[in-house]
Amino acid sequence: MGPDRSKLKELLKKAERVAVLTGAGISAESGVPTFRGADGLWRNYKVTELATPDAFAQHPELVWEFYNWRRQLVNGLTYNPAHKALVDLEAKVPHFTLITQNVDGLHLKAGSRNVLEIHGNLWKVRCTRCHKITTDMSPDMGTLPKCQECGGLLRPHVVWFGESLDYPLLHQAMEASRTCQVMLVIGTSAVVQPAASLALETKGAGGKVAEINVEETPNSRMMDFVLLGKAGEIVPELVNSL
Ligand code: OAD
């Protein structure tokens, strides 16, 4: 463990409040494809172009096919040592908030409790007519699934590009970011808001921010610590030594 990691470990040991922001990179070692980079493609579509309200308005069956594929993929996968280490970290810190951009539900499956799924959850659906939200764990929702209440077309309860985040959730995420002494930013390319701004909230309030990623990101420059490597190796190493 280098000087950087020992310093971060000391800060984490003393911290009353810790916030963690995770992105697709933390689930990569579980087998969930990330959004950007070589595996961010599905049948030659850029996945970032399918996760949009426009794509759903024009081709709902295609978007559902994509989400059914993701359901089936994630259904057979499980959490990895990085998810597990965050469960252990939550047990060690008095006030812990885990903010995730992931919709795979793996943090909850691992046992994390105070989780803010700011981009929604793959296993929830929302009616486009009556707006009712339900949990449905079916690995295949069919081509154009309908609401059991009103017959309206269902959509995945996830936040797509061009849509706003749920305000109360975002508010909680901002609050946790502002009040923590340390924020860990794990496995996110930091190109989508509010990833970058949450770390800024922490910094602006005098907290320290640490990035854990296999490569540097646009956010790396503002980080107090940059730990390069796999989340599945670095996060357990950090947490186990606390
Ligand atoms: P990205 O796919 O943009 O970024 C994944 C990040 O994880 C990259 O910076 C990789 O370098 C890093 N990474 C990959 N493997 C890793 C590993 N084993 N350990 C640590 N880091 C690793 O995913 P996000 O940043 O999560 O939004 O993307 C943000 C949002 O964009 C997503 O939530 C999604 C997408 O559009 C919505 O669907 C609304």
| Ligand 1 and 70: CB distance under 6 A | no
Q: Which band of pLDDT confidence, cut at 50, 70 and 90, is reported for residue 185?
A: very high
Higher pLDDT, 48 or 226: 226
Phi, psi angles (nearest 5°) of residue 43: 45, 45
Share of the chain above pLDDT 90, in %: 86
Q: What is the pLDDT of residue 44?
A: 72
| Ligand 1 and 29: CB distance under 6 A | yes
**pLDDT tops 60 at residue 1:** no
CA 24 to centroid of ligand 1, rounded, Å: 4
SS3 109: helix
Ligand 1, residue 163: give the atom nearest the CA: 39
Share of the chain above pLDDT 70, in %: 97
Q: What is the pLDDT of residue 36?
A: 74
Tell me what the mean pLDDT of segment 156-185 comes to: 96
Give pTM, 2 decimals.
Answer: 0.94
Cα–Cα separations (whole angstroms), residue 222 to 19, 58, 120, 173, 177: 17, 40, 27, 19, 15
The angle, 0 to 180 degrees and rounded to 10, between the axes of the packed helices 231-240 and 3-14 is 60
Tell me what the mean pLDDT of segment 87-94 comes to: 98
Ligand 1, residue 24: give the atom nearest the CA: 26
Tell me what the mean pLDDT of segment 28-48 comes to: 78
Q: Assess contact for 21 and 115: CB atoms under 8 A.
A: no
Domains, the chain, with CATH or none: 2-32+79-119+165-240 (3.40.50.1220), 37-76+127-158 (3.30.1600.10)
Q: Which band of pLDDT confidence, cut at 50, 70 and 90, is reported for residue 33?
A: confident
Structure tokens at 166: 């749920």
Q: Which band of pLDDT confidence, cut at 50, 70 and 90, is reported for residue 2?
A: low
SS3 123: strand
The pLDDT tens digits of the residues spanning 221-242 come to 999 999 999 999 999 999 999 9
| Ligand 1 and 22: CB distance under 6 A | no
Q: What is the pLDDT of residue 220?
A: 95
**pLDDT tops 70 at residue 188:** yes
Non-local (6+) Cβ contacts of 162 within 8 A are: 52, 53, 54
Burial, 40: exposed, middle or buried (Cβ in 10 Å; 0-12, 13-18, 19+)?
middle
